[in-house]
Amino acid sequence: MSLIVTKNQRFNIRFAQPQEAGLVVDYMRKLGTYQKMRDKIIAEEEEMEKILSEKRGESVFGEYDGKTIAFAYFYNNSSAFIGQRGMFIDGFYVDEEVRDKGLGKIMMAFLSDLAIRRGCKRLEWGCLEWNEPSIKFYEDLGAYSIDNMRIYRFAPDTLIKVAAQF
């Protein structure tokens, strides 16, 4: 499955190949800039290529009139809490100059369909609290927020420090 032709004749979606890891990282940096946290995007092309090659994560690109204008990075997950498989979108970005053309909706419809075809019962992602345009976009699609949960994370140095206690 490499190129998916959409109902919009000018817009196609295709799976990223490992050798396109640089473009995935470029889009993550665009997303980081938009989210006002560009300094947090530390992904490097070599590691991303390894992730894509080993199928630990996947990415798709949206192409409008033959030009790459959107991307999504995602991976499959599961929940012991509900006993179901799911898909998590870790990066989603549509270039500003083509927003409001319905292309983000097509991308989300594609990812939803892909999740269903893979036997997933849910599709999840995060969104910063201040990002009202994205919140409206997601809620207009029917998404809801899990407001009673915070996501915590160990940074690499903390991860090593905590693991050393074992």
- Number of helices (H) and strands (E), helices first, in the chain? 5, 6
Q: What is the Cβ-side half-sphere exposure of residue 161, based on CA atoms within 13 angstroms?
A: 5
Strand, coil or helix: 124: strand
* Cα distance between residue 88 and residue 111, in whole Å: 10
Q: Which of 64, 138, 144, 152 is the catalytic position?
A: 138
User: Phi/psi class of residue 65: alpha, beta or left (left: φ > 0; alpha: ψ in -120 to 50)?
Assistant: left
Establish whether 34 is a catalytic residue.
no
* Cα distance between residue 23 and residue 4, in whole Å: 19
* Cα distance between residue 110 and residue 113, in whole Å: 5
> Which positions are annotated as active-site residues?
138
